[in-house]
Amino acid sequence: MHDVLANVQNLKIQCLDKGHVTLIDAMPRVVPESQKTADYAIVQAARVSYGDGTKTVNEDRGLIRYLMRHRHTTPFEMVEFKFHCKMPLFVARQWARHRMSSTNEYSGRYSLIKDEFYYPELGNVKKQSQNNKQGGSESLSECDALAFISHLQDISVKSYDIYEQYNQKEVAREQARMLLPVNVYTEWYWKIDLHNLLHFLALRCDSHAQYEIRVFADAMLALIKPIVPVTIEAWEDYHPMRGALLLTKLEADALAEFLKSSLWQLKAPLLNVQNRREQSEWLEKAARLGLNTNFDSQ
């Protein structure tokens, strides 16, 4: 038997200045020596639908890719991960939007909050983007960034001073904490199944996500990749927020009309894959895009 956590070199990844993501546990944790990864449990669950047992590694890979391509998502729920994470409170707030997960967080009602605050690196203070409403790619001038960080440190230190002072004067912790800014660190245990985790990662590894949560999402992706490598490969190939490309109806129609009207009808290129089903799915799409897929008649 093989412990899948052994697939990961370092179970703890530092994130931002004082945070981290640590992979605590996985389900399945123990897999047959012949398998070595938790992709195993996805295939096991999916095969119950077909009344089949396990097959060759190659057929297993084909099945996982088929499930991912065709949005048969339930077998991916059969794998579970548990992380211990430490992150600034404003990151925790975005994170907690993902409801299909289990969380136990450090409590500022029961315990003293620790004196740890997030300060961005100089080059990571961004300018407000003009065309969309998010943080842009352009960095703030070094001078302004320095001043901003300095103010942030000032407020953090000052507020923590008062927090400590009033804890000694026995203000209820649940109330004393309310003067702490949202760059204060918190921590939690977080458990989620692979299907919902991939949904989280699609949104939070994306370039539209705030940098400070993206760091944590990237860390989680790095941690699970050696444990479910076939699943991650399929996800990178087929998810529209990863390598795949979603053409809207308007775009597909415009492209089809354009390709059809080219001087001579273009012949669809073939995919460089062995999988015949995947090839034929492509030819259906190519036909929709106005490419010639009638190979016999040529």
Is 11 in contact with 22 (CB distance < 8 Å)?
Answer: yes
List phi, psi (to 5°) of 85: -130, 150
> Which part of the chain contacts a second copy (CB under 8 A), choosing from 6-14, 56-64, 224-232, 261-269?
261-269
Residue from the set 20, 54, 282, 292 that interacts with a second copy by CB under 8 A: 282
Q: Does the annotation count 277 as an active-site position?
A: no
99 binds a second copy (CB under 8 A): yes
- The least distance separating a second copy from the CB of residue 14, rounded to whole angstroms, comes to 19
Per rule CB under 8 A, count of chain residues that contact a second copy: 123
Helix axes 211-224, 194-204, angle to 10 degrees: 140
66 binds a second copy (CB under 8 A): no
**CA 89: distance to chain centroid?**
19
> Which part of the chain contacts a second copy (CB under 8 A), choosing from 6-14, 44-52, 56-64, 216-224?
44-52
293 binds a second copy (CB under 8 A): no
204, 214, 276, 277: which is the annotated catalytic residue? 204
- The least distance separating a second copy from the CB of residue 152, rounded to whole angstroms, comes to 5
Which positions from 107 through 136 interact with a second copy, judged by CB under 8 A? 107-112, 114, 118, 120, 125-129, 133-136
294 binds a second copy (CB under 8 A): no
Helix (H, G, I), strand (E, B) or coil at 123: helix
Render the burial of 196-233: b for 16+ CB within 10 Å, e for the rest.
Answer: bbbbbbbbbbeeebeebbbbbbbbbbebbebbbbbbbb
- The least distance separating a second copy from the CB of residue 231, rounded to whole angstroms, comes to 15
Is 23 in contact with 8 (CB distance < 8 Å)?
Answer: yes
Helix (H, G, I), strand (E, B) or coil at 53: coil
| CA 1 – CA 115 distance, rounded (Å) | 43
> Which part of the chain contacts a second copy (CB under 8 A), choosing from 11-19, 54-62, 219-227, 245-253?
245-253
204 binds a second copy (CB under 8 A): no
17 binds a second copy (CB under 8 A): no
62 binds a second copy (CB under 8 A): no
x/- mask, a second copy, residues 141-180, rule CB under 8 A, reads: ---x---x--xx--xx-xx--x---xx-xxxxxxxxxxxx
140 binds a second copy (CB under 8 A): yes
| CA 32 – CA 40 distance, rounded (Å) | 9
Token duo for residue 118: 């997030």
| CA 165 – CA 284 distance, rounded (Å) | 69
Catalytic residues: 204
